[in-house]
Amino acid sequence: APPRDTECVDVPGGPKAETFFTKDLPQALRSAYRVGHDPSAWGALGYSSGGSCALQLALRNPRTYTSAAALSADYAVHDDLTTGSLFGSGPQAAQRRRSHDLVWRLGHLPVPRVSVLVASSRQGEKDYGATMSFLRAVRPPMTSARIILPQGSHHFTTWLREISPAMEWMGRQLTFPQDTTPGAKRPAPSESSAAPSRRPARRL
């Protein structure tokens, strides 16, 4: 939220970006458009800091988003010149910062029932090591998939190679709006009625 980068965090005394994306925006869309009301119909996808936000939104708010795809993401939130202080001061600041460290969350808090896709490159991406650490931390009921390129960069030339498979993956995770309208009955599982994919970790 201008004039600062919020990293999708509710900043103490500042912008409430996480609240906007998890409460205000979904409520506005549901009230105006024919979209699904169940969390299984909602996902977030982004690259760079947008990918970091997608993961944060799903892992911290699984009752709103059940899928996230992140290209070249970070797995923790840090202050920098564009953000200013995101977590405030005082005794609660360290706790707020830690709660946005996704590897810490997976090791210390109940694991959410969400599916995630992460993308990185063995060479040319600074987040490769952090990406593999994040994937190793994933455990049921959460599921993960990955796109790992031999070589890439933190640039659109790399993200253009990843966006199509990421969108295809996202499409397999989400339910259709007509299946998630309040009061509507979902079809019983059968060979002709596929449930949202929740596959184990694999390479795409």
Quick check: is 5 in a domain? no
Q: Give yes or no for residue 188 having a pLDDT over 50.
A: no
pLDDT digits (tens, 9 = 90+) for 134-155: 999 999 999 999 999 999 999 9
**What pLDDT, on a 0 to 100 scale, did the predictor assign at position 3?**
66
Quick check: is 56 in a domain? yes
Quick check: is 98 in a domain? yes
Domain total of the chain: 1
Query: Per DSSP, what are the bridge partners of residue 118?
Result: 70, 146
Alpha-carbon distances of 46 from 33, 49, 68, 110, rounded to whole Å? 22, 7, 8, 25
pLDDT digits (tens, 9 = 90+) for 119-136: 999 999 999 999 999 999
User: Residue 2 corresponds to which tokens in the numbers above?
Assistant: 């201008």
Higher pLDDT, 2 or 160: 160
Radius of gyration, CA atoms only, the chain? 17
Q: Evaluate whether 147 touches 117 at the Cβ level (below 8 Å).
A: yes
Quick check: is 30 in a domain? yes
**What pLDDT, on a 0 to 100 scale, did the predictor assign at position 5?**
84
Q: CATH number, domain at 158?
A: 3.40.50.1820
Quick check: is 44 in a domain? yes
Quick check: is 64 in a domain? yes
**What pLDDT, on a 0 to 100 scale, did the predictor assign at position 193?**
29
Quick check: is 131 in a domain? yes
Closest CA to 143 of 200, 105, 75: 200
Quick check: is 125 in a domain? yes
Contacts of 133 (CB under 8 A, 6+ apart): 75, 103
Q: Evaluate whether 9 touches 20 at the Cβ level (below 8 Å).
A: no
**What pLDDT, on a 0 to 100 scale, did the predictor assign at position 197?**
38
Higher pLDDT, 78 or 192: 78
| Range of lowest pLDDT (29-33, 50-54, 56-60) | 29-33
* Structural domain of 52: 17-176
Higher pLDDT, 60 or 194: 60
